Amino acid sequence: MRLGDGVFARRYAELDLTVGLVVGERLALVIDTRGDEVQGAELAGAVREKTRLPLAAALTHAHFDHCFGTAAFGPLPVFAHRACPSWLRATAEAQRAEWTEYYRSTGDQATAAALADAQVVFPDHPVDEYAELDLGGRTVRLVHPGAGHTNHDLAVYVPDADVLFAGDLVEQGAPPDFSDADPLRWPGAVSALLELSPTTVVPGHGSPVSPDFVAAQRAELASVAELCLAVRAGELVSAEAERHGPYPPETIRAALLAVTR
């Protein structure tokens, strides 16, 4: 879908993943590369229907569904938060094993095989808190707003289009995933994204949303953080927190577990 001049989002049924493309005058930026090289090749083909410019990639974080497709694009600069490569090295094979087994268990042998064979490409252009990337005729901002969904989330803001690619710091259509999260800091990270004043926010999964949607999700995340603090302080037991949370009990359990790690 076109979100502005040279700014596109592409949404997939598989895990409801949403990726992005920003086209400048001399360089195009792919935002996330999908979950294996077969999926990455499909995305690369779709990108080439929009532009023949040289490509770079920005990875919003190191979960497999966002980055195991990078090799399909061939050699290219890969931007990510500075903590992303080490996290990817530490977790890539465990992610591969977990999700290969998941796809096999659901009967999706083709995706299981593609994931098992995927070559993991490690980012080679680290971003600390902030960087600007000149695409020619437009500049995008790469922003680490703080820990949230992971400790290395990276958002991509396109100022001239007022579009923000938020990765999994924002979720549409499903509750946020706390499995590798920092629940206490996540609301602050979303607040930092809202301070950029985007008109359109593209989540890592789901449809593009408005700032009002993001603000409402920030309030939900703040509620989860308060529940986590109350359980940690002994003011609530876990079962009470699960009953009072804004998300399903299993999501609140994951948040509580993340705080105790």
79-92: per-residue pLDDT in tens? 999 999 999 999 99
Q: What is the mean pLDDT of the chain?
A: 97
Residues 6+ apart with CB under 8 A from 25: 135, 136, 137, 138
Q: Give residue 249's pLDDT band: very low, low, confident or very high (50, 70, 90).
A: very high
pLDDT tens digits for range 147-185:
999 999 999 999 999 999 999 999 999 999 999 999 999
Name the residue among 207, 213, 224, 220 with its Cα closest to residue 258. 224
Domain coordinates in residue numbering, the chain = 2-210
CATH number attached to the domain at 2-210: 3.60.15.10
pLDDT tens digits for range 212-230:
999 999 999 999 999 999 9
Q: Give residue 261's pLDDT band: very low, low, confident or very high (50, 70, 90).
A: confident
Q: Give residue 125's pLDDT band: very low, low, confident or very high (50, 70, 90).
A: very high
For residue 201, the surrounding DSSP H or E stretch is strand 200-205
Per-residue pLDDT at 260 exceeds 90: no
Average pLDDT in the 197-214 region? Answer: 98
pLDDT tens digits for range 43-80:
999 999 999 999 999 999 999 999 999 999 999 999 99
Q: Give the pLDDT confidence score for residue 248 in this predicted structure.
A: 97
Q: What is the C-alpha separation between 15 and 36, in angstroms, rounded?
A: 13
C-beta separation of 206 from 12 below 8 A: no
Q: Give the pLDDT confidence score for residue 225 in this predicted structure.
A: 98
pTM for the model: 0.96
Average pLDDT in the 188-204 region? Answer: 98
Q: What is the C-alpha separation between 185 and 146, in angstroms, rounded?
A: 7
Q: Are strands 7-11 and 2-4 parallel, antiparallel or unpaired?
A: antiparallel
